[in-house]
Structure 1
């Protein structure tokens, strides 16, 4: 018996390379979701990981850093926030 495929539909998915239960420390949304400022997950809202080990959506962290009370500190541990380039 011969089978001839006439058409096919490709399906793809992506996921950040973090454990499934990890959420943004600011908005509390999982990393494979979107931050409150974005419509779609992906490169428009990158994941930023600090040297302290805490991770945040890029937009959430930028909003946090722009507040007066942040003083450039990590919102979770209050150490100076320096991100790790990935």
Structure 2
């Protein structure tokens, strides 16, 4: 006995995630597939930025962090000198 199923309709659902090692931003602790506390909507306006050390942060979080440092900015996670990944 085989049962045949006829699919009348189907809705594809797509989701996207950033390719980061962590699930959340190390600065604001908000999810990478969301956005930083300063933004209302995730996406192009709140991209992820990687450092040379491969740690990722929301663009706005790392910019605020870099601008708040009085000396050479360090990665908030590993304390290596912060450099934006080329």
In which range does the TM-score fall when normalised by the shorter chain? 0.7 to 0.9
Counterpart in the other structure of 2:3: none
Counterpart in the other structure of 1:14: 16
Aligned residues: 80
Choose 1 or 2 for highest CA Rg: 2
Matched, 1:30 2:31: yes
**Structure 1 or 2: more helix by fraction:** 1
Counterpart in the other structure of 1:52: 53
TM-score normalized with structure 1 length: 0.73
CA RMSD of aligned residues (A): 2.4
| More displaced 10-residue stretch of structure 1: 36-45 or 10-19 | 10-19
Cα distance between partner residues in 1 of 2:69 and 2:20: 30
Counterpart in the other structure of 1:84: 85
TM-score normalized with structure 2 length: 0.73
Decide whether the 8 Å contact of 1:64 with 1:70 is kept in 2. no
